[in-house]
């Protein structure tokens, strides 16, 4: 079973109780869980994303420097967990490629060594604070213009239902594109994403403010 929490695209989070139930089912039905956890550090307020390995170490968890250290283009990640599963993974991996460049690996090691306790190091927490400010601004601004949207507790995305009166996420996205705003339609993530869109908090607040003004034109102005 492949699980991804905090989740992309929805921003949904998993509790320890949920992970315990998943691990119990894995034991009962004899399957392995691969827990994809790259947004583990992108959490807000008092929420801390749990690790599956806190619950059951008979599975594996994967993470990535792409999100944790904003090293998106360097493509360096890792897998931890059950040694037998890791051994099988290494055998397969060795036939696919020979790993990313050493200088990238050393940079990631440096970043991981900044973790001295259960707290996020400054190089990570400072980044998370920036995304939290963007999240707060975006969600408040959307609600101010009548687009009801909830704050996610984690990830660098905001997943929300299309505004009232809109019936198709792709058609709504086209309207926004005509105003110079690009969002991801929920259908890009599968059939059940219809009726939703995903914002990425990767732009500064100045850009988000401009986007909100253009979105306001679409949902409240004359340009439909």
Whether the domain at 2-112 and the domain at 122-220 fall into the same CATH topology: no
- The CA dihedral of 179, 184, 185, 189, to the nearest 10 degrees, is 170
Tokens of 213: 């003004």
Answer yes or no: are the C-beta atoms of 61 and 37 closer than 8 Å. Answer: yes
Name the DSSP class of 188: G
Answer yes or no: are the C-beta atoms of 47 and 16 closer than 8 Å. Answer: no
Tokens of 86: 């890791």
State the pLDDT confidence band at 99, using cuts at 50, 70 and 90: confident
pLDDT at position 135 over 90:
yes
Q: Look up the CATH number of domain 122-220.
A: 3.90.1150.10
Secondary structure E strands in the chain: 2-4, 34-36, 60-64, 77-81, 157-161, 184-185, 196-200
pLDDT at position 143 over 90:
yes
Domain 2-112 architecture:
3-Layer(aba) Sandwich (3.40)
Tokens of 104: 């990238």
- Hey, where are the domains in the chain? 2-112, 122-220
């Amino acid at each position: 079973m492949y699980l991804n929490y905090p989740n992309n695209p929805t921003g949904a989070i998993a509790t320890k109780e949920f992970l315990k139930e998943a691990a119990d089912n894995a034991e009962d039905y004899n399957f392995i869980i691969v827990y994809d956890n790259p947004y583990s550090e992108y959490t807000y307020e008092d929420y801390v994303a749990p690790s599956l390995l806190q619950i059951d170490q008979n599975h594996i968890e994967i993470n990535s420097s792409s999100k944790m250290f904003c090293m998106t283009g360097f493509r360096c990640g890792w897998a931890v967990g059950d040694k037998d599963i890791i051994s099988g993974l290494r055998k397969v991996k060795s036939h696919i490629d020979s790993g990313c460049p050493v200088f990238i690996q050393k940079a990631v090691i440096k970043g991981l060594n900044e973790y001295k306790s259960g707290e996020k190091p400054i190089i990570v927490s400072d980044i998370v604070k920036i995304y939290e400010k963007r999240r707060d601004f975006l969600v408040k601004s959307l609600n101010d213009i009548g687009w009801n949207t909830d704050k996610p507790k984690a990830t660098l995305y905001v997943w929300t239902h299309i505004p009232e009166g809109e019936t198709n996420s792709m058609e709504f996205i086209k309207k926004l594109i005509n105003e110079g705003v690009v969002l991801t339609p929920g259908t890009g993530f599968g059939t059940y994403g219809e009726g939703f869109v995903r914002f990425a908090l990767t732009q500064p607040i100045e850009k988000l403010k401009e986007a909100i003004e253009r979105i306001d034109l679409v949902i409240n102005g004359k340009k439909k």
